Structure 1
Amino acid sequence: MKYDKIDPQLFIKNRKNFASHMKPNSLAVFNSNDVYPISADSTMPFEQQRDLFYLSGVDQEASVLMLFPDCPNENFREILFVTETNAHIAVWEGEKLTKKAATDTSGVATIYWLQDLEKVLFEMTSYADTFYINTNEHYRANVETETREDRFTKWLLAKYPAHSVAKSNPILQRLRAVKDPIELALMQQACDITEKGFRRLLNFTKPGVWEYEIEAELLHEFIRNRSKGFAYTPIIAAGNNANVLHYIENNRQCKNGDLILLDVAAEYANYSSDLTRTIPVSGKFSDRQKTVYNAVNRVKKEATNMLLPGTLWKEYHVEVGKIMTSELLKLGLLDKADVQNEDKNWPAYKQYFMHGTSHHIGLDTHDYGLLHEPMQANNVFTVEPGIYIPKEGFGIRLEDDVVIQEKGTPFNLMGNIPIEADEIEEIMQG
């Protein structure tokens, strides 16, 4: 791994918190992700299943974690299974976790080779009444591929049909949404790497540059700072491309007078950051561009101040919509009749700002969190309003990642990244 070793106390604490929510005499199982094939002998870069990583810190394939806090055999209350490594694997694939390294990484004392899983599980099942299975129930999930976890769950329930079944996901939704100080430090590091990339491209961007060249500059800076690269597929959208919300082609030349919407950010240690900035190719906004930019920035600042413990996500978005409506009226993009005659299910402002303002962020860019429950301290949210005007040939979105505090305004993990229009112009023209 490129990242520095993470303190295993994080994973010890996470397992303890998860176990405290389990039913009596229950056994929870978590599998790593597959290495997904492309074709022939090619594979996609490995990405660890985030729940397994959250509970163990293990970042390699073919790994399984079992938690059984009530097991009479104390050695079976936490077990980690990893693939047995050998000299051949070390030469051809690189070093894998030894039993000692697995313990050092995770804090789990009992380590078995994966080949022993069925035998050990058989012994554990005689003590257990309930299996906790791990399913992806994120509100945006749309999974068509059968995962290693899915296959294991099918096998487990077919082999042991008399056991009751419970779900891990509701527990993880709550736990993962509230960040530990170690997690916040890792997210801060991801944001700091993102800052370096953004400052680099401010000095690089000029008329004639191509979107993919900007992407290359960012990737260079991210990797040289111990990131794997982008936390999500980068959006580098010049001119009217900014009005395509998930534009990822990044193949257009940036021209004088264009704005570039940059939704680009680094990961670090599997933790995401999520940044959006909009900059002028020439280094200077037009008067109209700056007026709209400042309107978006005002909405962002007011929205950020509303992220407080007890706030409900749905009500928050309604209030942000009111703030955006006021700005759009000032910009002449809406008039009073548009607002008076609006469809309450699709308010008038949605013509220019059609997406949500905030989402949880953490191990996933769109992280776990139960949106019907009130916000809590140490939730981390994005704040990302935008105004998109195809008729004028540009769109503007601004986004930071903020940590909700017990009292007062949220802490901005991206507070050092330039955002004011005048500051961006000054850096680009300096």
Structure 2
Amino acid sequence: MKLTVVGGGSTYTPELIDGFARLRDTLPIEELVLVDPAADRLELVGGLARRIFARQGHAGRIVTTSDLDAGVDGADAVLLQLRVGGQAARQQDETWPLECGCIGQETTGAGGLAKALRTVPVVLDIAERVRRANPRAWIVDFTNPVGIVTRALLQAGHRAVGLCNVAIGFQRKFAGLLGVSPADVHLGHVGLNHLTWETDVRLGGPEGENVLPKLLGEHGDAIADDVRLPRPLLDRLGVVPSYYLRYFYAHDEVVRELRTKPSRAAEVAAMEQELLRMYGDPALDEKPALLAKRGGAYYSEAAVDLAAALLGGGGSPYQVVNTLNRGTLPFLPDDAVIEVQAAVGPSGPAPLPVPGLDPLFSGLVANVTAYEDLALEAALRGGRDRVFRALLAHPLIGQYAYAETLTDQLIAHNREHLAWA
């Protein structure tokens, strides 16, 4: 089996490598290719990757290259984890929206739209080259904004599935609180990427006992702290929102916080420099503890599980993925991309049935889906008016004066990445 990681020079990659090494029986990789245009980072990450494999006794071969076509040639699956514009672009995404009193964040609001506009054309070019190399290859997208990027891939006819680590993080957290194995925890996870709720938590599978009321009753304070929302709100909702819902449920509070502390991009950039320094140590042969603070927790386990299921070698029978709606949420178009539990196999994901959603949640999902439609249109076709329409539709913006200003700011800060600007 050959697996390729595009964006292999990311400081995330050792987390992925560690999972590949530990879970080699689930996903028996013979050749792993790390592709990245940044040769200096790729050398450091690739060196550590080989040492991790060697330490854990993995016999697979690790190849590094800046040649995308060579890297994807003959690959059975291609994982995408790229960041167009790097941390410098993320820093902009997290700062200029604040000038209008709007959230500055890399996947939500105006910053999220900027990332989508930079990313979608690049990902589609990569996907076309993957298709030419092997039309049967699966593309697993971990590149944000995952929902919009995955929809672009599927709309273009690619064999693609979107992946996020929010659900597996909740699964591990709840398993720890309940004192059970993560494999015993089945989430009623529903919504869009970075806009999801855990509507039930079942033991043993989709038909098991729902222990969410018990979790909220006995561990509500700890869960509330994790998602950074008040415990009374969780009790009133009766569900567990992902921490990204804080941008919607506590928007103004978050804006005040973001204006008074360093951006997450600045923190990550400093962390990356330290990680790369550590990766260059020839004695280091395991992922460093600092990597846990970088983000992407449990990404490797989720990626292994998904790739194994898609390639027919195993994996969990049910997994949370980003895939086509196909009637799962009846208030959305069939071609919307949703994030839900699905049965995953070599033919792709098949979403499990979802009980009717409370209008409190379905209304927001429908609103953000409409924004994502317009965001993808802007990413594919460009133009100032399309950017404006997407921003005006976003529930965190919604006022024409803000949308006008943010449109100008977005274009000014991203002109080098927008072919039409």
Task: Give 1 or 2 for the bigger CA radius of gyration.
Answer: 1
**TM-score, reference length from structure 1:** 0.29
Q: For CA contacts below 8 A with separation 6 or more, give which structure has more relative contact order.
A: 2
Instruction: Flag the structure with higher helix content.
Output: 2
